[in-house]
Structure 1
């Protein structure tokens, strides 16, 4: 009986996400290209901005495509390759989401990966240029959104919703 209780405790502690005031670790559900949910906590990636799910961009041939959906799908695939994700608290945003720097189980930064692969942009007012080199590399390689033309997500939101 004691062995069964011990195994139950081990099973519960290995499947329950770890949540503290400064760090959240667990399996992520992708909300959009720059927001995930872990253990019921919405987490916005610090210093970057990805296109909205409804946002359209133009590909290399000038055809419109849902770049926000592409970003979210790419993020989901990236996170699935090395679970769990760990997010370190930076601040709270006006929507009561945790703003964080996140990494996969293998240590790769999610924030840097998104920008480096052209699925998000460095957002200087919040990043202070932390992702500028990643963005320059993505632009030079015409990765992700850089394959064609797009408007920065903060401009698209401001035009559609009146804010960022």
Structure 2
């Protein structure tokens, strides 16, 4: 094996870099899992937020985010998964494609209408979402606001609440990490501040660091 890696070093290095966690899968929400104890966000899919409501187009409002989480837990929780790392996100989670029994979890979720293709980060599941929409499967059976649109609505409200001169966003990740985002950083515009969860605005980096937040890496 060592000789093969010496002869094809770049190939071996690339394979190692793509390796991700494997182990028993525990569902956090529709697109986020713990795999072998490591937090993983599925690549190129977007599931409803846990507190998201769906409806519209004549359909009554219903708790689609909670429903998706229950469905995903019923299907996958406790099974053995293997993952291939694609990136690290702003919450320091591994972004990965994961498989159970050789099947792509993201593909299954999008095909069954439990999640949407997240084309901003990859077109891997574009055709699967279109097929699910045509067939009216899962979320596509009723009027639904996409998770991205749902988050945009929340972000607009958060921007309106920003105190004058205090534009630094102190965000708390799902696993409790306190991270602040400066205007101009990659994830600043996409970060919503929810004071009910302990998140807050800061007027200076010194204030943020003193309160226990660290600066986002990008």
Structure showing the higher helix proportion among its residues: 1
Q: Does the C-alpha gap of structure 1 residues 59 and 142 become closer, same or farther in structure 2, counting only changes over 3 Å?
A: farther
- Counterparts of 1:1-164 in structure 2, within 5 Å, are 22-58=19-55, 62-80=59-77, 83-104=79-100, 106-127=101-122, 129-161=123-155, 163=190
Q: Following superposition, which runs of at least 4 residues in structure 1 exceed 4 angstroms of deviation?
A: none
List alignment gaps of at least 5 residues for structure 1.
1-19
Q: Secondary structure at the match of 2:82?
A: strand
1:83: how far off? Answer: 2.3
User: SS in structure 2 opposite 1:63?
Assistant: strand
Q: Deviations over 1:23-69 (max 9, x none)?
A: 21111111110000123311000001000000011288612111111
RMSD: 2.0
Q: Distance in 1 between matches of 2:139 and 2:58?
A: 12
Number of equivalent positions: 142
What CA distance in whole angstroms lies between the structure 2 residues aligned with 1:23 and 1:138?
29
RCO comparison, higher one (Cα < 8 Å, 6+):
1
- Structure-2-length-normalised TM-score: 0.61
Determine if contact 1:118/1:146 at 8 Å carries over to the other structure.
Answer: yes
- Which is greater in Rg? 2
Structure 1 residues 111 and 64, CA gap change in structure 2 (3 angstroms): same
Structure 2 unpaired stretches of 5+? 1-15, 157-189, 192-218
